[in-house]
Amino acid sequence: MSDGPDQPHSRPGGPQHPVPVDRILAERIRARGPVSFGEFMETALYHPGSGYYRRPRERVGTGDRTDFYTAYTAGDVFADLVAEAAGRLAQRTGMSGLTLVEIGAEPGHSLWEAPPPPFPERRTLAYGDPLDLPTRAAVFSNELFDAQPFHRVRFRGGAWTEAGVDLDGDALRETVLAEVTPAVRPWLPRLPSRAPENAVIDLPLGAVALLEKIVAPPWQGIFLAFDYGKRWSELCAEHPEGTLRGYRRHRPVADILENPGEQDLTGHICWDWMTETLERRGFAEIRLESQEAFLVKNASGAVERIIRRRPGLPDPARNRLHQLIHPGHMGQKFQVLSARRG
């Protein structure tokens, strides 16, 4: 959902083709020096025409050509669960006539072909679409915030430094920035005073910035984000190597700087920062629950219908439900942040 800093690149002579992101970054670094991790990720993921999420390719699914799967892979099962849960939350808050807004969908895809009950309208916003939100909305996203740019800090010589990306010949490599960038500076007081030498914290600042864009307009309704993350204390203490990971063809990539634009980059968001943003923008009844607990509590009707289908017979829908709510699969790995305003 970010708008990259540059215009689409193309090779001269012939149809437009994306210039490799590593070449774009190399040109930028040679011109003005190392870039922050935030700029590296923004370019690798969202550069117009070249970024991982801006290129017309298949990313999500279980096939050999895809890189990762999400709850969207469960198709109609996930759609039914989300629609019932969102509808129940709206009903509990006394809100009706909300437009169901799906943010961060893959281009040309949506969970719903038509507005699911009880929503009279639906709107699907893909990566890069303007955040056009109605005045009364049920805003839903799935694994949107973990794919936003992170900044990286590293503890060296008794102090926190900001990591950046430089060149080693033609290859990208991590470096230490001469100064902390303005984006990171306000967050320095939150960092622990001491940490193991070389410890890393990946700061999910892009997630906070995107959430602010979503909730800054004065729409009323409910907010629903399925994602994975940690509390701030957990991010500081439990992940000394940071949480950023790269995935390609369903396998983790050892070097997250390798092949930018060709692999997914993702990390844990900070639920405390997300909650603070919602509170500051006037949201109430803010809850963070495991995906299992949220769906069992708020979509019990859909869960029961799926479980009771075709008793004694194999059922793909039950298998997909099991994948979504079982603690050993997505049920505990993912959390749901919900809130209302108005």
* pLDDT at 278 > cutoff 80: yes
Q: 10 Å Cβ neighbour count for 325?
A: 21
Q: Which residues pair with 68 in a beta bridge?
A: 60
Query: Would you state the structure tokens that stand for residue 236, as one six-digit string?
Result: 């500081």
pLDDT of res. 227: 97
Closest CA to 61 of 252, 333, 250, 226: 250
What does pTM read for this prediction? 0.90
Q: Mean pLDDT across the stretch 209-213? A: 97
Q: Strand, helix or coil at 130?
A: coil
Domain annotation for the chain: domains and CATH numbers: 21-56+151-203+236-265 (no CATH), 71-147+207-228+268-341 (3.40.50.12710)
pLDDT of res. 8: 31
Question: pLDDT tens across 52-71, in order?
Answer: 888 777 666 667 666 565 66
Q: Return all residues near 98 (Cβ < 8 A) that are at least 6 apart.
A: 90, 119, 136, 137, 138, 221, 222
pLDDT of res. 235: 97
* pLDDT at 44 > cutoff 70: yes
- State percent of the chain over pLDDT 70: 89
Q: Return all residues near 9 (Cβ < 8 A) that are at least 6 apart.
A: 18, 19, 24, 47, 49, 50
Q: To which H or E segment does residue 23 belong?
A: helix 21-32
The rounded distance, in Å, linking the Cα atoms of 241 and 39 is 20
pLDDT of res. 206: 97
Closest CA to 132 of 217, 19, 60: 217
The rounded distance, in Å, linking the Cα atoms of 282 and 85 is 22
Give the ranges where 164-270 is alpha helix by DSSP (H): 205-215, 232-237
pLDDT range class, residue 128, cuts 50, 70, 90: confident
* pLDDT at 29 > cutoff 90: yes
Q: 10 Å Cβ neighbour count for 224?
A: 24
pLDDT range class, residue 105, cuts 50, 70, 90: confident
Question: pLDDT tens across 215-263, in order?
Answer: 999 999 999 999 999 999 999 999 999 999 998 876 888 899 999 988 9
* pLDDT at 160 > cutoff 70: yes
- State percent of the chain over pLDDT 90: 71
Q: Return all residues near 231 (Cβ < 8 A) that are at least 6 apart.
A: 270, 271, 272
Buried b (16+ CB within 10 A) or exposed e, 168-190: eeeebebbebeebbebbeebeee
Kindly tell me the burial class for residue 73, based on how many C-beta atoms sit within 10 Å of its own C-beta (0-12, 13-18, 19 or more).
middle
* pLDDT at 7 > cutoff 60: no
Query: Would you state the structure tokens that stand for residue 93, as one six-digit string?
Result: 């808050």
Give, in degrees to the nearest 5, the angle at Cα 257 between 188 and 243.
50
pLDDT of res. 17: 72
pLDDT of res. 240: 95
Q: Under a CB-based contact definition with an 8 Å cutoff, are residues 225 and 145 in contact?
A: yes
Buried b (16+ CB within 10 A) or exposed e, 44-61: bbbbbbbbbbbeeeebbb
Mean pLDDT of the chain: 89
Task: Tell me whether strands 220-227 and 136-142 are parallel, antiparallel or unpaired.
Answer: parallel
* pLDDT at 118 > cutoff 90: yes
pLDDT of res. 61: 61
Tell me which of 53-57, 74-78, 93-97, 116-120 is least confident. 53-57
